[in-house]
Amino acid sequence: MPHYVLSPPSSNRPLEASSLLSRISSSGSSGSTSSPHSSSPSQSQSQSTVPSPPAHPSPTPESDPSPRPVPIDCEPPESEEDDRPLTFAERVQDTMVENSMVINTFIAGGLAGATSRTVVSPLERLKIILQVQAIGPGTGVSGQAYGRIWPSLARMWKEEGFRGFMKGNGINVIRILPYSALQFTSYGGFKSLLGKWSGEETLSTPLRLAAGAGAGIVAVSATYPLDLVRARLSIATSNLAVRGAGGAGSGAVASAFTPEDAKLGILGMTKKVYRTEGGLRGLYRGCWATAVGVAPYVSLNFYIYESLRSIFLPTDTNGTSDAELAVRKLVCGGLAGAVSLLFTHPFDVVRRKLQVAGLSAVSPQYNGAVDCITKICKAEGFWKGMYRGLTPNIIKVAPSIAVSFYTFETVRDTLVRLQDVPEPDEI
């Protein structure tokens, strides 16, 4: 019986299995493998752990021609042009962009004033004539070339035509452009300052009134000489009948201006007042009384208009037509002007009296606002004297303020839309 001896397994089999495992683990390599007879198990194990090189080597940053993406949080390097100083034109442009709202308010305010005063120029001139013409008591001559509104306007048209309606309006527009622009701009500035000072997001009534008063004083102080010259030009050609040199009791009637005065323009009248009435003191005659009267008037104007606007204008204007919005704004402006005037008209009378006080033939001489009020009340009574010219003034002021506020908002909102910035909710 044959005897079989179990011999140990040959080493070739594990080498073949190890080589097979190495080939499986290194699939995707270049295909070169070690011979199973020339490699040991340790060598085969080391070959299985060494990664094979990729079939296509990845490009290096130096050799990659495609642009590399820039991280989002990285800023591009500053160019040398950013370090150069700004030119004057660039500085002006930057300033205008930063203060665009102030500039828009200034432009809109000036155009609003010019438009509103031109619309009511005939009534403005008639109001001044009625306020300053004198009454000669005991003479049988009232001294009034103008009386009721419509006959007076008809006479003005008959004697002077369209130029009579516009007499003094040129300087009025020149005066009202900076006056109205400063008034609207100052009002916004004072509201901003008072808001920061008080810490109130919405200003209280006293602070809003204070902002309006400050705006009125700033506007008056800057433009008063033009207002005085405008008043003189308005009555220079009106054939105003006044007291003559013989005094109030003589019954003599004279003309307030010479024919040469009627031909004077803005510059000529300014030179005459400066030369004959004490220089700047003559040009600022009655400024104190004007500021006292204008401050509450402007204050009430803004306050009443904003209050009525918040009531009459809908919060959501999408379903409201432009025509209806325009009518509502005009009504708010007209009511604001009429109500404000009832409280401040006496100050306007005193202002006009003091502005023509240098003309002895037109108005008595006054030593100041208090003396003017005393003499008016003594000669004519409070209601008749201090509210003289109220009716034409209300007829003039109501549409004037209505047109002013409406034009201001329209122009300002148009400028804002052109610049693509949010529209303000209030004045």
Structural domain spans, the chain: 103-419
Which position has the higher pLDDT, 403 or 286? 403
Residue 64 has pLDDT above 50, yes or no: yes
Residue 87 has pLDDT above 80, yes or no: yes
Predicted local distance difference test score (pLDDT) of residue 204: 92
Residue 130 has pLDDT above 70, yes or no: yes
Going by C-alpha positions, the residue among 337, 353, 341, 419 that lies closest to residue 385 is: 353
Residue matched to tokens 């701009």: 185
**Element (DSSP H or E) covering residue 255:** strand 253-255
> Residue 224 and residue 13: Cα distance in Å, rounded?
119
> Residue 222 and residue 220: Cα distance in Å, rounded?
5
43 pLDDT band, cuts 50/70/90, is very low
Q: Which amino acid is at 286?
A: G
Cite the DSSP H helix spans in 277-321: 280-283, 287-312
**Residue 230 phi, psi (nearest 5):** -65, -40
Give tens-digit pLDDT for 262-281: 677 788 888 888 888 888 88
Predicted local distance difference test score (pLDDT) of residue 326: 92
Tokens of 144: 């009034």
If one looks up domain 103-419 in CATH, what number appears? 1.50.40.10
Residue 157 has pLDDT above 80, yes or no: yes
Residue matched to tokens 């527009």: 173
**Element (DSSP H or E) covering residue 243:** strand 241-243
Predicted local distance difference test score (pLDDT) of residue 288: 82
Quote the pTM value.
Answer: 0.64
Residue 36 has pLDDT above 50, yes or no: no
Predicted local distance difference test score (pLDDT) of residue 42: 46
Tell me the pLDDT of the chain averaged across its residues.
75
Residue 292 has pLDDT above 90, yes or no: no
Tokens of 25: 């683990």
Mean pLDDT lowest among 195-204, 248-257, 396-405: 248-257
Q: What are the distances in angstroms from CA 109 to CA 26, 116, 399, 413?
A: 85, 11, 16, 12
Going by C-alpha positions, the residue among 339, 421, 399 that lies closest to residue 117 is: 399
Predicted local distance difference test score (pLDDT) of residue 23: 57
Mean pLDDT lowest among 81-85, 210-214, 253-257, 392-396: 253-257
Tokens of 260: 């040469």
274 neighbors 280 (Cβ within 8 angstroms):
yes
257 neighbors 220 (Cβ within 8 angstroms):
no
DSSP state of 166: T
Tokens of 327: 């009518």
Q: What are the distances in angstroms from CA 99 to CA 96, 110, 189?
A: 5, 17, 12
12 pLDDT band, cuts 50/70/90, is very low
The contacts of residue 244 (CB under 8 Å, 6+ apart) are 250, 252, 253, 254, 361
Give tens-digit pLDDT for 343-374: 888 888 887 787 776 555 555 677 778 888 88
Which position has the higher pLDDT, 427 or 30? 427
11 pLDDT band, cuts 50/70/90, is very low
Q: What are the distances in angstroms from CA 263 to CA 168, 236, 268, 409?
A: 12, 8, 9, 38
240 pLDDT band, cuts 50/70/90, is low
Going by C-alpha positions, the residue among 63, 22, 67, 62 that lies closest to residue 41 is: 22
Tokens of 1: 């019986």
